[in-house]
Amino acid sequence: MVRAAITTAAAGAAFGSYRGGAWWGHPHGGFGWVGPVFWPYAYYDLYGYAWWGGGYDPYFWDYGYGDIYGGLFGLYDYDALSGYADYLPGRGGSMPPTTSNNSRRSAPATTLADMCGSDRGDIAGFPIEQFRTAIQPNDSQSAALDELASASQKASETILNSCPRDVPLTAPSRLGAMQQRVEAMRTAVGILQPALDKFYGLLSDDQKAKVTALAASQRRARSENTSDTGTCTTPQPAAIGWPSDIIERQVRPTDAQRASLDALRDAATKAEETLKSSCPPTDARTPPARLAAIEARLDTMLQAIGTVRPALDSFYGSLTDEQKAAFDAIGPERNGGRSAMAASNDEPPRRHQRRRHHGPNVGGMIFRMMGL
């Protein structure tokens, strides 16, 4: 719940308030893009599904074509993204403080890097001690578990290092950032897989049964009514349809440009079909099997991005500067985007004033819980 609240607050910052059910929201909460960051909880989603299954962490399989669409027609305008620029890793900034109308105290600061995962050992090695307690490993198994903990740490750092250093302001740069992020996740899987296979291969049948039981207990503890297998396709509301009329009206492509635009639309359609064919497996009951499913899904996502990106580069490169600006404005204008900085200074709508005047500083609570 904390994760969903953080991403909702951050992703909706440029819109004044989050409109639930919008196409850019994921079925289980959260968002593909938060400011300049794609897949903010990449490490946790990968590990949550691999260790415990979709019933515990269903977020991994929420990512798909809608996020590629979000890369093409970004949600955030220039003012909103430039507002995030000071909070990127290495720039020493922090997220804007969240304040209450009743009290001007600011929430504890956090950097945008916090939205990119963590390389802290206690996070990266979280399941290790639980497994050790559950299976009571012998010496060789314990050594293999330590190797898995080390690989876990390295995989976490790999994904963390894919956090953007620059704000992607254009469609080509967003797809480039998206590809970089997914490639880092794919590399992380390659780091984890040998160590996990070695550890799991050393377990007895009884110990494997204990691992399965531990995962089942974790899912029950979440008390979520989510399927362990997830869904094959994400509902595609009308709002996610290809914005042909808007492009014609705002970009006004020439006949020559229209040919490359058609190629881009065809590439996007092909990418969507490719991702629809990549479904969560129904028989992935062990961590190695679920990690293999993650590997296949990430490969499919890279294939889909690789289908769209050359067509986008060709079309975008044919546009004039004015046409590029019009194309990049489609997403924010279509979704009512505003500057995150300006939105935070606006007088809240009357229907929200009572909530703000009474009750705790939710933003501050969220960031304090992140710190814990």
Q: Where are the domains of the chain?
A: 2-47+75-371
Average pLDDT over residues 235-263: 85
Report CA 39 to chain centroid distance, whole Å: 2
pLDDT score for 241: 81
User: Looking up tokens 């962490």, which residue turns up?
Assistant: 57
Q: Which residue has the higher pLDDT, 281 or 56?
A: 281
Which of the four pLDDT bands, split at 50, 70 and 90, describes residue 100? very low
Which of the four pLDDT bands, split at 50, 70 and 90, describes residue 17? very low
pLDDT score for 345: 36
User: Looking up tokens 């093409």, which residue turns up?
Assistant: 72
pLDDT score for 258: 96
pLDDT score for 83: 66
Look at the alpha carbons of 258, 261, 263, 266 in this order and tell me if their dihedral is positive or negative: negative
For all residues of the chain together, what is the average pLDDT? 76
Is 330 a residue whose pLDDT tops 60? Answer: yes
pLDDT score for 77: 77
Is 5 a residue whose pLDDT tops 90? Answer: no
Least confident of 96-100, 149-153, 208-212, 290-294: 96-100
pLDDT score for 54: 73
- Residue among 318, 246, 237 at smallest CA distance from 24: 237
Q: Which residues of 69-103 are buried (b: 16+ CB within 10 A; e: fewer)?
A: bbbbbbbbbbbbbbbbeebbbeeeebbbbbbbeee
Both structure tokens of 219: 């899912």
- Residue among 89, 78, 110, 156 at smallest CA distance from 10: 110
- Residue among 115, 117, 120, 80 at smallest CA distance from 94: 115
Which among 152-156, 270-274, 330-334 has the top mean pLDDT?
A: 270-274
Q: Is the whole-model pTM more than 0.75?
A: yes
How many Å apart are CA 213 and CA 229, to the nearest integer?
A: 17
How many Å apart are CA 259 and CA 318, to the nearest integer?
A: 11
Q: Report the half-sphere exposure of 3 (CA within 13 A, side-chain side).
A: 16
Residues 172, 26, 365: CA angle, nearest 5 degrees? 105
- 97 DSSP 8-state letter: P
- Residue among 85, 68, 62 at smallest CA distance from 3: 62
Angle between helices 255-276 and 65-72 (to 10 degrees): 160
